[in-house]
């Protein structure tokens, strides 16, 4: 099953691996903010739609993970792509979809 965040569809395995990378580099508080997104990969079907306030909070955590010096470059680009799509949804006045 593929998952999308507004960008290219990714496999559930790729999303799970990104979550693992983020869990390793983020402080606990930031990880807990986005952990629910990754938990949905295993326990729910979606789509999930978030308003601007929630999407902004998620985007900031994905940006923090992408910028962390211990984040591998390819995973950092993936996390930044997700943050950029969430931010684009906010700027367009829409809601961000995680499906």
For residue 79, the model assigns a pLDDT of: 96
Distance of alpha carbon 53 from alpha carbon 15, whole angstroms: 23
Distance of alpha carbon 36 from alpha carbon 69, whole angstroms: 24
For residue 71, the model assigns a pLDDT of: 98
For residue 53, the model assigns a pLDDT of: 92
Length of the chain: 99
pTM of the entire predicted model: 0.90
pLDDT of 21 over the 90 cut: yes
Q: What is the total count of domains within the chain?
A: 1
96 in Cβ contact with 90 (< 8 Å): yes
pLDDT of 1 over the 70 cut: no
pLDDT in tens, 38-72: 887 666 666 788 999 999 999 999 999 999 999 99
Q: Is 93 left (phi over 0), alpha (psi -120 to 50) or beta?
A: left
Residue 58 sits in which domain range? 2-98
Quote the distance between the C-alpha of residue 98 and its chain's center. Answer: 8
């Amino acid at each position: 099953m593929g998952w999308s965040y507004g960008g290219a569809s990714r496999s559930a395995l790729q999303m799970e691996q990104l979550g693992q990378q983020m869990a390793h580099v983020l402080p606990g508080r930031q990880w807990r903010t986005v952990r629910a997104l990754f938990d949905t990969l295993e326990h729910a079907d979606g789509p999930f739609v978030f308003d601007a306030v929630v999407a902004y909070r998620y985007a900031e955590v994905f940006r923090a993970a992408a910028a962390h010096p211990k984040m591998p470059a390819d995973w950092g680009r993936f996390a930044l792509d997700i943050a950029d799509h969430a931010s684009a949804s906010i700027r367009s006045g829409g809601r961000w979809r995680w499906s």
